[in-house]
Amino acid sequence: MADLKKVDPQVFELIKEEEKRQREVLEMIASENYASKAVMEALGSVFTNKYSEGFPKKRYYQGNAVADKIEILATERAQKLFGVPYVNVQPLSGSPANSIVYLSLLEYKDKLMGLSRDFGGHITHGGPLSLSARFFTPIHYELGKDNMLDFEAIEKLAIKEKPKLIICGFTAYPRIIDFKKFASIADKVGAYLMADIAHIAGLIVAGVHPSPILYAHIITTTTHKTLRGPRGAMIMVTKKGLKKDPDLPKKIETAVIPGMQGGPHDNQTAAIAVALKEAATPAFKKYSAQIVKNAKKLASELIKFKFNLVSGGTDNHLILIDLRNKKANGAAAALALELAGIVLNKNGVPFDSLPPYWTSGIRLGTPAITTRGMKEKEMVKIAKWINEAVDEVSGEEMPEDKESRSAYWKEFRNKIKSNKKLASIAKEVKALCAKFPVP
């Protein structure tokens, strides 16, 4: 059979173009990472061809003897790595995994309680227009004035609203999560506690962030991000969860199929199995510790340049920056940084004065650059480049009305593309990246 280059040279060249882009820039989106060659090899394997609707030894299709083995292997590795009695590796990604849990536990219009998206919660935690808000009743807690979790306020809200499900674990919270305190609140009101550890799963298994295993009833996670696997997800039930409801595994399986999905992606399952094996190694623990060291060093360097870090720093892999004191907006800064070879994302910040599409902040993380082997020394350089790039867009005021914003953005994009300072930084970034190969 002919290879990709012969069959579809256009797609082949686009893949090569993306390989080049990933090599030559600093990938600093907190939710991105570089999977190993072994993980990608499994993802592109012949398991792509199989359809395995159902669960091991209970399939609707024939020819699943080997697919059963790979799913059982992935499941057993996850159970051992996280220390839980039940794992489902079939969710296609993080958002479907969360929706599966809601379908398992909640009835129409039941209350679920999570951190507001405006303060770092995920859209699936009751965000506007999401399935979680359209079919259930979202109750949102917020961060305190110090931009940290305010457990006293969270407890008062939970007692008042009595949600059936409380969610902890976030998409833009740079501090340690006290799962024990969340458990105390959930137990007090009789709620299920779900820990969404999509961002910090790798840090947890490596022991550089506390685990929710003793405190949550259900845990969801993606398998990319800090776990450094393929794009995928898992749902776990803890011993505490089984004690509260022994039928949780069955409820989750019913919600997976026929509730939310059909057949799993067996190639994805195979790649997850590989990633879990890698995550059980001493090298992965060392890597995860370095992620946090790099994030802390980068944060301290950014503070020297007078950047306003939400909560004042970081305990994990990500940093959230409020750019209002720099007289910059998130959209302009993110584009300028991309042109400078530093790829991150615009992000809302607590009490943001701009709408979600534009934002007053940016979010960045260290998982991918740490995978390349960068350490504290490189963080000093990166902080300097970030400061120089943001300086180039300082004073870019976002118009208040929608029509004016569109015109402003079109003009800004055309202008910023020819910025010589950003082009100069990009050359320096490229030179640094050449010293740290991607997997």
Looking at the annotation, which residues are catalytic? 51, 53, 196, 222, 225, 231
297 within 8 A of 379, measured Cβ to Cβ: yes
CA-based R_g, the chain, Å? 22
| Residue 329 Rama label (left phi>0; alpha psi -120 to 50; beta) | beta
Name every residue whose Cβ is closer than 8 Å to that of residue 62 and which is 6 or more positions away in sequence: none
Q: Take residue 409 and report the two structure tokens written for it.
A: 């953005």
Distance CA 329, CA 154 (A): 30
Distance CA 120, CA 142 (A): 9
Beta bridge partners of 270: none
Distance CA 139, CA 323 (A): 28
Distance CA 206, CA 284 (A): 7
Element (H, E) at 140: strand 137-141
| Residue 372 Rama label (left phi>0; alpha psi -120 to 50; beta) | alpha
